[in-house]
Amino acid sequence: MDRYEHHDYYLLDDLLTEEHKLIRDTARAWLKKEVSPIIEEAYEKAEFPKQIIPGLASIGAFGPYIPEKYGGPGLDQISYGIIMQELERVDSGVRSTSSVQSSLVMYPIWKYGSEEQRMKFLPKLASGEFMGSFGLTEPDHGSNPSGMTTNFKDMGDHYLLNGAKMWISNSPFCDLAVVWAKDESGRIHGLIVERGMEGFTTPETHGKWSLRASATGELVFDNVKVPKENLLPGKSGLGAPLGCLDSARYGIAWGTIGTALDCYDSALRYSKERIQFGKPIAGFQLIQKKLAEMITEITKAQMLTWRLGVLREEGRATSAQISMAKRNNVDMALKIAREARQIHGAMGITNEYSIMRHMMNLESVITYEGTHDIHLLITGKDITGIAAFE
C-alpha cells in the first residue's frame, strides 16, 4: 500500500503557485491509485505496464512544456520537474519512460523539427498514441557519443541508414525513434525512424536487475530507407543530442528527489512503528542521525533544484549547472536509499517496501544521461576551462 505523506521541511511549497500544487496533487493521486498497486508486479515480471500510458498522458507527463498548439499541456519548467518528482517517487522506470518521450523525443522534434514534423508527431506523442525512443548510445560509444559509427548516405530520394544503438529505453515497443547518426562528412544529425521501415528492428535487452519496469533494448538499422522529410533540419552536431540531454537531466534532478522522499518517508514511519529493546527504534541516536541527515540532504537538493528550475524557465540555466544537480541528486537519493534499507532491517530487502527497488533503479540512473564521473568532469571543465575527458 502507498502510505506516502508529504514532507516539506523548509516550507518550500511557499515557492510554488496554486497551479503547481494542483498539478502535483493530481499526479500524486493518480499514481497512488493506478501505479503504486501494480508497480511491484511489473518490476518482478520485468515489464513496462503499458496500460498506464493513457493515464500518464492525462497527468501531462508526455511533453509537459510542449505548447498546446502541438497537443502538449504548455506548462512551465517547475511543473515539468514536479511531475517527474511524483513519477520517480513511485518508480524511476516510469519516470524514464516519460523522460524519454518528453525530453528525448518530443523536445528534439519541437526544437529541431520542421513545422510538418511537429504537427505530424507531437500531438500523437503527447496523447501516448505514439511512443518514442532516443538512440544515442552505441555498443562501443557510451560516455563518448561523438565516436558513434551509425551512419547514413544520401541516395538521392532517401537516406540509407546503417548501424546499431544499445541500451535504449522504450525501444522494444516504440512507434518511432529519434536516432543520431553521421552523414558522409561525419556530421551528426537526428533522424526520425518509424516502426515498420524495412530493416529496422528493436530487440529487447533481458537480464537487468535495475529499471525492470522500463523496457530497454537495441535499435538496429540494416539498410533502412529513411525518407528525406524525416531528417530533423533545425540543428546538427553533437550539441543537438546534448541539448536534449539537458532537458532530460533536469527532469532527473527533480525525479530523484521523489525517490529520496519516498525512502525517507518509509524509513521515518518504520522507525516509529518498529519496537526493539522496548522502544521505537526512532528513539535511538544512530537512527535519528540517519533520518536527520536524510531530510537535510533532501532539503538541500530541493533548494538547488528549485533554483535551477527558475533559471531554466528564464532560459539562464547552463548545461554545467544541470550536470551538477543531476549528479548531486542521484547520488543523494542512492545514499538515502541505502540508509533507509538499513533502517528497515530485514524487511528492507523485501518487496513489501519500495526501498530495494528504488536502490536498484538508481544504479541505472547514476549511469545513464551521463555517468556520475562524467558529470563531475563537466563541472571540472566548467570551473577550470580545461577538458579532462581524454
Query: What is the distance, to the nearest Å, from the Cα of residue 116 to the centroid of all Cα atoms in its chain?
Result: 27
Q: Which is nearer to ligand FAD, 67 or 142 (CB)?
A: 142
Q: Which is nearer to ligand FAD, 293 or 373 (CB)?
A: 373
Asked whether 101 and 110 are in contact (CB, 8 A), the reply is no
User: Rounded to 5 degrees, what are φ and ψ at 199?
Assistant: 90, 0
- In angstroms, the CA 245 to CA 256 distance is 16
The residues, ordered by sequence, that sit 6+ positions from 38 with a Cβ below 8 Å of its Cβ are 49, 52
Residue 194 is a catalytic residue: no
Which of 137, 150, 202, 321 contacts ligand TGC by CB under 6 A?
137
- In angstroms, the CA 343 to CA 365 distance is 23
Q: Is 242 near ligand TGC (CB under 6 A)?
A: yes
Asked whether 326 and 252 are in contact (CB, 8 A), the reply is yes
User: Rounded to 5 degrees, what are φ and ψ at 279?
Assistant: -150, 165
Residues that bind ligand FAD (CB under 6 A): 100, 134-137, 142-143, 167-169, 211, 216, 364, 367-369, 371, 373-374, 389
Shortest separation between residue 374's beta carbon and ligand FAD, angstroms: 5
Which of 153, 239, 288, 293 contacts ligand TGC by CB under 6 A?
239
Closest by CA position to 120, among listed 101, 104, 134, 106: 106
CA distances (Å), origin 337, targets 90, 258, 259, 283, 287:
13, 11, 8, 20, 14
Question: Residue 373's binding partner, choosing from ligand TGC, ligand FAD, none, with beta-carbon cut-off 5 to 8 A by kind?
Answer: ligand FAD
Stretch that binds ligand TGC, among 74-82, 92-100, 108-116, 223-231 (CB under 6 A): 92-100
Q: Which is nearer to ligand TGC, 242 or 282 (CB)?
A: 242
Question: Residue 74's binding partner, choosing from ligand TGC, ligand FAD, none, with beta-carbon cut-off 5 to 8 A by kind?
Answer: none
Q: Is 169 near ligand TGC (CB under 6 A)?
A: yes
Question: Residue 221's binding partner, choosing from ligand FAD, ligand TGC, none, with beta-carbon cut-off 5 to 8 A by kind?
Answer: none
Q: Is 319 near ligand TGC (CB under 6 A)?
A: yes
Q: Which is nearer to ligand FAD, 310 or 360 (CB)?
A: 360
Q: Supply the residues annotated as catalytic.
A: 369
